[in-house]
Structure 1
Amino acid sequence: MSAVSNPATVEECLRVGAGFSQGDRNWLAEQFATLDNRLASFHADATELEISVKDREARGQKVTLECWISGRDKIVTTSSEEDLHAAVMDVRDDLRRRLNDAKHRQEPRNNRHLREVPTPEIDPEPEASTPS
């Protein structure tokens, strides 16, 4: 596989949505830095991440991390952890797992359509043998 010329990074692709401020963005990017290795196989201009939180710091808060990668299904991870830091780690780890799963499904050994090798055509009429 060839290297991606402009690999996606959290720093480049992360947007903060409802419940987070631009001031939170640096902290979030640091927490998500471990995703860079997984995102590096995608182009930065074709990858977006957005994190949001509903009812921040309240009982029942919900953190949502959405990931859009061109040509793939959108991935949405959520956490209802009461501690904001724990919720952020939860959605990060779930996204990493789901990206890994998606990558493995596209590898030939896990995808029958990529694994199939065309069978050579067989001549329907075998050559007649000559009697000796």
Structure 2
Amino acid sequence: MSANPATVAKCLRFNAGFTQADRDWIVTQFATLDARLATFDADATDLELSVKDREAKGQRITLECRIAGWPKIVTTSGEEDLRAALNDVRDDLRRKLNDAKTRQEPRNNKHLRVNTPPGQAQAPTDALAGAGTTTEER
């Protein structure tokens, strides 16, 4: 973990459509991202939130995440309700961060390790070959 872990409160910037008056409730709504962001350094992490046509029928929310050494991650939502749209981009970013982290560090992901498929026993070693025990008895 980083000495200066990234959090939404430290890394979130607003672009078009949001004001600093929106900051507290949006940071609270995005707080579930903190656990995922904490593995990155705050100085190397940037979240940028913008909205086009706020509260209008064609509203479009965009959340961009930049982390040093990683490709930029962009999530968008066309939900008409502002809070629903924010939840949508938040959840999509969390999913994309998890996917990117898995691709970046497969050695730490037990699902990507090569294991013997279920139902296939490993071949016995020479020392156990003549011991008269079956795989199930061991």
Task: Give deviations 1:57-89, integer Å, cap 9, x for gaps.
Answer: 100100000000000000000000000000000
Q: Which amino acid aligns with 1:10?
A: V
| Cα distance per residue 1:78-103 (max 9 Å; x no partner) | 00000000000000000000000011
Distance in 1 (CA, whole Å) between partners of 2:73 and 2:108 is 20
What is the RMSD computed on CA atoms of the aligned residues? 1.5
Q: CA deviation at 1:106?
A: 1.8
Q: In the comparison of the two structures, how many residue pairs are matched?
A: 110
Match of 1:107 among 105, 108, 116: 105
Give the match for residue 98 of structure 1: 96
Q: Which runs of 4+ in 1 moved over 6 A?
A: none
Query: What are the within-5 Å matches in structure 2 for residues 37-52 of structure 1?
Result: 37-52=35-50
Q: TM-score scaled by structure 2?
A: 0.76
Q: How far did residue 107 of structure 1 move?
A: 2.3
C-alpha displacement of 1:110: 8.3
Instruction: Report the secondary structure of 1:56's partner residue.
Output: coil
> Which one-letter code corresponds to 2:46 in the other structure?
E
Counterparts of 2:106 and 2:50, CA distance in 1: 35
Distance 1:80 1:103, change over 3 A: same
Gaps of 5+ in 2: 114-138
TM-score by length of 1: 0.80
Structure 1 unaligned spans of 5+: 116-132
Alpha-carbon separation, structure 1, partners of 2:79 and 2:29: 16
Letter in 2 for 1:21: T
Letter in 1 for 2:54: R
